[in-house]
Amino acid sequence: MNSIIFREIKTFFGSLSGYLVIALFLLLCGLFLWVFDGEYNILNSGFADMSPFFTIAPWILLFLIPAVTMRSFSDEKKQGTIELLLTKPISLWQIVLGKFFGSFILIVIAIIPTCIYVWVLYGLGLPEGNIDMGSTLGSYFGLLFLIAGYTAIGVFTSTLSENQIVAFILSVFLCFVAYFIFSGIATSFQDFQSVVAYFGMDYHFKSMSRGVIDTRDVLYFVSFTYLFLALTVYKLKALKS
């Protein structure tokens, strides 16, 4: 499994596209948070608060993560190496987890530089250090689980087609549904609004962003990620047979 993880990372950083994906993510975040006028501009808000970043991050990751994961298995299928991969003396779960953690680590690497924003806001606060670190750390913790959920979806959709663009579009659609749709349609069910919203990733991510780590939110993300990884294993079994 470790060899698959390292191969994924090496392949990603072995091409210019890998660096472009990370650069694009940081550029978009930087522009929205520090340059463009609007509700997400931290300097215009007058508060030393990372909330704008954690509001736009799920939207940007909605496209970034599928761009990273779309080649996971679709490229193997297109090049005809999927059969060779499936005959290796490792289990299907190890193959899937290798692909998953390879992509997950890559996205985390893209997120790490945003910690500079926290350092900047710490210094800009009046008085210095006037920033809610509990909420910020909780939001970063929740973002890791959100990345895991998006990545699991992306790895799964990459098994559905050998065309990377198709895998990308399917992944974006499913990530959008998982994060935004439930909270969107919850307003149409006044009597069951909280129940419907509970199934969306948005509900649990915002809960973690308050700085309180609830085991129910953690269990939700772990279960969600496991579900799509299990679906990936099931799909590979079908390809192997």
Q: How far is residue 137's CA from residue 133's CA, in Å, rounded to a whole number? A: 6
CA atoms lying within 13 Å on the CB side of residue 139: 22
pLDDT at 171: 95
What's the helix, strand, coil split of the chain in %, to 5? 80, 0, 20
Say yes or no to pLDDT of 54 above 80. yes
The mean pLDDT of 35-51, rounded to a whole number, is 78
Tell me: pLDDT of 72 over 70.
yes
The predicted structure's pLDDT at residue 128:
66
What is the C-alpha separation between 181 and 193, in angstroms, rounded?
A: 13
Assess contact for 44 and 120: CB atoms under 8 A: no
Helix ranges (DSSP H) in the chain: 2-13, 16-30, 42-45, 51-69, 74-79, 82-86, 92-111, 115-124, 133-157, 164-176, 182-185, 193-198, 201-209, 215-240
Residue 154 pLDDT class (50, 70, 90 cuts): very high
How would residue 22 be classed by pLDDT, with cut points 50, 70 and 90?
confident
Half-sphere exposure of 191 (CA within 13 A, CB side): 0
Q: What is the mean pLDDT of residues 87-102?
A: 89
* Extended beta strands in 31-93, E state: none
What digits encode the pLDDT tens for the residues 109-152?
889 998 888 888 877 766 666 677 778 888 899 999 999 999 99
